[in-house]
Each structure stands twice: as C-alpha cells, then as structure tokens.
Structure 1
C-alpha cells in the first residue's frame, strides 16, 4: 500500500513539474501586439527643412503609421517579455503650480494620470520609445520605428496645406474654431475645470499663461486612445492627448556653432510633435525639442512601418515574412491578438463615452 501511495505522489509531482515548466516557457516566450496600421499614400507638403528656414516642397514616400498612440497595454508586453528597465522617475505630479515638483518617483505603470490599459503610455522618454520600436521589429521581423518630423507633419495634416485639418479654410488660430474639440483632447474648458477642482491649478495666472480653447472636449486630463474623430488619413489623436516623440534630434544648426562636423554630432535634444491635453494644438509643422533624457507624463509616441514597394491599400506587403495565422506564445494568432486588442479598445471607449455622458 505504501509503495502505491508513494508511486501516486511521484506521478503527481512529475505532473506539477511538467505543468510549471510549460507555464514558465509560455510566459517567458515573446508575446506582443502589432499596432493597427494605416497606409499613408505618397505625397508632398510645404515644410521647412529646419526650424527658421523657408518652406519648400518635401516629397514623402508611402509608409505605414499606427492608427493610435502606443498604449500601456502594448508597452506592458515589451517590459514583461524583455525585463526592460524602464525609467522610475518622471515629471508627473501636479500641484497648484502644475509640474513645479519636477521629476519624482513614478513610472509608465505607476504615475498620477496615465493608468488605464488603453491610455497612451507616457513616462518612458525617447530612449524607451525607440527601444520598444526596435524590440517590435526584432520579434516581428519587420521594420518598426519612430516617425521623422516630415513624415509626422505629412501624416497629421493628411497632405493639406493648412495649420489644422478640421478647418475647411485652415484659418484656425491655435484652435479658436470650436470644431477642434471634436478631433482632439486639448487644453480647453474641461481641462480648466478639472485642474482647478482636483489640484487647484490654473492655466492663467500672473506668472503662468497657457492658452485654453473655448470649446469642451469632455475630459480634463489624458484620454484613452481613439476617442475623437480621426483625420482624413484615418489617424487618431494627432492634434492632442499627448505629444509624440519622433526620431529626429535637434538639428546641428540650432546647437553650438562649433559643432559643425556631423561625425562629432551628439544628439542631446529630441523632437516632439502634436499638442496634448495640457496644451493648445500645435500647427503640424511645429517641432519642439526636449533633452534626450527627459521623462514626462505628457509625452509618448506612435510607430511607423516601412513598406516594400508600392502596394494596394487592401494588401500591403511589409518588411518581414511572419505568418500572421501562426499562433504566438499564448496560443493565439497575431490576427486574433490584434482583433482582441481592438475589441478591448472598443469596449473601453464605450465605457468612457458613457462616463462622459453621465458627467454632463
């Protein structure tokens, strides 16, 4: 009898070891979500080649852009799959004098505002945004990257020679046209109310003047992605929500005059495009620059993907040959994972809309 009992316990132990070994293998294997992509047709736009220069026609070849800003849900998979050491301090805490505390303890997964799965990921900085693109390229065999300044301006404007695409005549001055709140989460009436209510912070004081718009976009701080109307190319949140890191460094012409040899150029500041919930919308051609090591809660990114030749919009051939019907480490095909991501986002958006309706 004792021999039989010991044999049963031995079999159970083997089963448990097998179960945990399989579980650990599945957990440690790469699991990722590919972004929903929009094909941007080739075209041109009048842009300055560098800040302060005269505008000239810039020709942009066709490429792909993620429909939404990179989310917490996507970035979490990168961290889990790679044990990535993300920043642990961030400019994110708001007081009555806004961000005067500077960088304090906080991270992409633990900061004052961006906490939901489908919020755009922030508190990562330019380096982590670039590292995420490199990792996604590695696991997919494709060529994901950050956008260039010219690509971003062209994609955001949808090729229109206007400061803002929502205005038929392009005459909006920093968003005075109320229709802009249909397209973007920006600094407006809800932002003013919520900042004053929750933090005692004001957008206009004797020492601080941040212009706000007369319209109301329904939310005071960050929003989950895709809540507003897309631009004519089908991209969401290009005017606001968070500002987006691009791959460009500050041009050498804007740095010290003795830094003329490009071989000695060191990137110390990186570019950002678009407005945010805290700012009025920026004209598409505008690029701001922050130190490369700056980590803040107003900055995130979205990805670009290179095309192989010119393909139809219905069947796009991208770099890499991974079969999207093959299962990933969690047993789901990439198509199914992306479908679940879109379903989850749609449910989160529906909940958000209902919540906003109840507040009114």
Structure 2
C-alpha cells in the first residue's frame, strides 16, 4: 500500500503525472525506467530494522504477497493521478472490487447501488454478498430520487459506477455522494470507464475510487490488475484483507501497467475524439436504433457528464435494428475491431454484453438490467477515424 507524501501546493497536469508520478525513489543505478523486481522476499541483516518494516513502523518490503517495489510504483502513480491519500492494488479489477466490499462490510451491513453495474459486480450484489448476510438494494440507475430514498432508509456503503458498463449511463456524483455521506455511508466509485484523465470522483467527495487497471490504465490488453485509492483508513483495511487473502498484483503485470500509463493521457484523448465521431456517425445510421455515448447532446445525462467530467471517454454502445440476429451478422464483418471480452485497449474492441460485460448473467437477468440482446459495446481504439467509420459502414451494410 502506498501513502501520500506529495506537497499540497503543486500539482502538474495529468499528462505529466501519467509519465512521471511515483517513479523517483525506485529508479536504481541511474536507470530511467522502474525495474521489475521478481524477488519473493526481501532480506535484512539487522533484526530491529527487519522488525520495524515487518510491523509497519518503517517503510520497506518483507514478502511479495504483501508489497513489492514495482507494484508500489504502480500504486503510487494511480494514487497521485486520482489525488488520493493512499492506494493499494490487486490481481484483477474484480479482486479490487470484491476485496474492498468484503473488507468494509459485515453481516448485517447494507449496500445501496444501481442496477447498471458491471456484470461481475452485479453478481457480487445479487449472489455473493446476500449469502453472507449483507443486504443489497439495487435501484434504477438514473432515478436519483429513488437512490436517495434507498440511502435514507439505511446505507453503510454506497457503490456507484459512472459511466456504466455497457449502457453508458451517467450518475450525478456530487448529489449522490452528498446523500450517502448524510447517512454516514462510505461512498465507492468505479472509475474504470472515465479514468482519472476524464473524472476525479475523490475531488467530488467520494471516499474510494476503484479501477480495473486491465482496461484503460494499462491500455494494451496484456496485463491484468486492479487498484483502489482514497481515504487512508479505508485503503488500509482493503490492503490488510488483500494481503491475507492473497489476490496480489504480479510485479511483471505492474510493470506492464506502468508502461501503459505513460501514454494514458494521449490514448484517452485520442479514444475520446474517435468515440465521439463514431457515436455521431452511428446516431444517423438507419440500421442503428439507439446510441449510448455521454458526449452526444442527445444522451439523457449529457449535462451531468459535462459538469463532472473533463472528457467523455472512449466507450460507447449501440443497438441494432433486428436485435441479436443482426448482431450475429454484423460482428464477423468488422475488420478493425477485436471481437473480444475486453475494453480500453489501443485497438478497437467490440462485442455484445452476452459475451462480454454480462456474460455471467442470463438473458432474463440482462433484460431486467435494461440491457437488450441487440446491444453492441464498442471500445474505441486509436486508429484513424476515417478507417473506423468506413469499417462500421461496410459491416452495417452487410447486415
């Protein structure tokens, strides 16, 4: 787990932080890049020094399941980008989410969240947490009054995801965070789609922010990872749970995520530009019945997104006329898109929720969550925009 040592009076731009933040103290022998430290254990000649590090009195590393130098740099970079007091990592995004929930909740606790969370998160709320006596109330995602009513009825942890996966709904973070805090709840926000380049939930009042680092943070589809950042006291609890339960981020994965984060600002900026152009094109196509992208003025929560986000991101989704059968005909014709269960990479990635975000759910469960079988999730890459639109054109024509 890494903690803040930043001077409060200076903060470089996110583009600069993505390149430089958190790396100085781990550069060795005049290297300009952070090394990959594969050592499982770390040795000490002096017992007192060893004991102080082992008990947390002094900084250092003891055993790889707990902390690692390469992993610490990744945590620190994300902590600084999010403006957090502390951060800790996990082996995957779902490990970061589930570890946080299990660390902060007990039997009898109550969670309030929304129906549009990522499929794995949704199953935690509908299957795993209730099985250990934790009450979960899932409310219509954009009915903010209903969410506030559910919070007022009792809430220990408010879990928000915005924009949502895969419907790209946007939650009013300042409003809902205030409602959660009025009830004394911990407020946790999944910031995976927005990234710290486009949205800073902690600056809007959230207590914790969580990422699937596998996605936009890494950006190259070659490393799994998750990270939680926010209030030091809460992150310490999550770290303690993770170090004992063992969902540790691998040092090589941390290195790959770090390397990817160097270009985070550039990638996200280009992906957002491409996504806006693609969404605008799809909105005018006669074979597309619906486009979900917060950057479109037609998006129901566009004004909210414009207030709390500095950019609208690289994710969108759209529904095809003809439903799932049209999707089946459309997907094979895409040339510049991986048909795969991932997102946030430099390459465009495409797929329906039935095989990606909500593969764990039945068609009936997806329907209950407002996810039609004809929906296509589109993670925009950094390719030339003319090529992406031409590719979509020929694939839609084939339908």
Mark yes or no: TM-score above 0.5.
no
Task: Name the structure with the higher helix share.
Answer: 2
TM-score normalised per structure 2? 0.27
For CA contacts below 8 A with separation 6 or more, give which structure has more relative contact order: 1
